Amino acid sequence: MIEQMRVLSFTHFVQGPAATQYLADLGADVITVEPLSGAWERREGSGGIHLEGRSVTFLSVNRNKRSVAIDLKHPDAATALEPLVASADVLLENYRGGALERLGLGYEAVRRINPRIIYASATGWGSRGPMANRPGVDLLVQARTGLASATGTPGDPHAAGTPVVDHHGAALLAMGVLAAYARRLTTGEGTRVEASLLAAGLDLQAESFALYHSGGRRREDLDRHDALACWSIDAPYGIYRLADGASVALAISGAMDDLGAALGSDELEAFDAAARRSRRQEYTELLVGVLGTLTYQEVEQRLAPAGFWFERVADYDDVLTDPQVVAEDLVARMPVGDTHARVLRHPVRYDGARPSVTRQPAELGGHTREVLREVGLAEDRIDALFASGVVAEPQTAKVDS
């Protein structure tokens, strides 16, 4: 789809690598520029979890890319970097503010080399304001944007349980690059693209935020029973524990007025839509009690014939074998040494198909010589860069342990 796009990726952690993986899945030639010791997610990764000696965080966000290893602080680094920049359509980075400027790779410097460049930056808090230079990671953004309060309640906040802001931020960053690329195909002009985890954390709450402020709500309006999933949606929208240890998620549907009858509860049946809203806590407590006496099979037998929207709550083991997940081909087995990693596939279909894995996550520096040849460096100059330690190949690029 975007096979003509070349992306230089100066990224680490999750947001930046995941964003370039989206682009690589779509056909872009993504060249990850790593320090000689490797990017953080290659060296360590979340939880220290490794497979065949390789960080699983790295494996999850680095397919379909090439890797070059360059000592960006070496005085001769520009010899390798300038032709790379000149050949690129996109430079994408998510380093702390000012980091690439100090290395001579800031927006203005890159634009002098390549005026048509799309220069995409992702930060924690944005490039302006009092927090522009503060470290920003997923959990801190969940806290700062109110997401932790909305996931729990203002008096009992909870994190989302997985770094949702990182991954949403990655998708928004990739979207920004694609929009800028479409513009360049039309006008020939480059674009400065800026994204942030702060904006991504708020964007995840677009409806909830608008409802709260447009509806004149107060902090106490976000308080709710633990079973309810959302402050702004009427009961019984939530998750309920059952007698057999399973849990059921109940969503809204046109049949909610008949829920009490379906469950055989006169007390619940007495609540109409207005009462479920005005006496939400009382209604939810009653529903918790009724569902707590039933197994999932019993709930299914009572609710399915009446057209209610509900699902059994799954864990990660369940998801792997879920027949709908299998039918949609959303999980891939990716070879890693003598075993396989379980990773998620690209989330969108194009003409009925998902993009395939054309390259396994690359060895550190595995394409250094290949890429330098492609951008026009003569073999003797490439040899000199290797000899001086500016660049490295897999046998000399050592991942810190």
Considering 158, 167, 213, 225, which one is annotated as catalytic? 225
For 75, the token pair is 């005085």
Q: How far apart are CA 78 and CA 55, in angstroms?
A: 30
Per DSSP, 255 falls in state T
Q: Please give the single-letter amino acid code of residue 346.
A: H
Number of Cβ within a 10 Å radius of residue 345: 18
Return the half-sphere exposure (C-beta side, CA atoms, 13 A cut-off) of residue 305.
8
Q: Which two tokens stand for residue 377?
A: 């460096």
Please indicate whether residue 74 is annotated as part of the active site.
Answer: no
Calpha distance 211→149 (Å, rounded): 15
Scored b (16 or more CB within 10 A) or e, 258-285 reads ebbebbebeebeebeeeebeeebeebbe
3-state SS class at 306: helix
Rounded CA separation 144/125 (Å): 10
Enumerate the active-site residues. Answer: 225
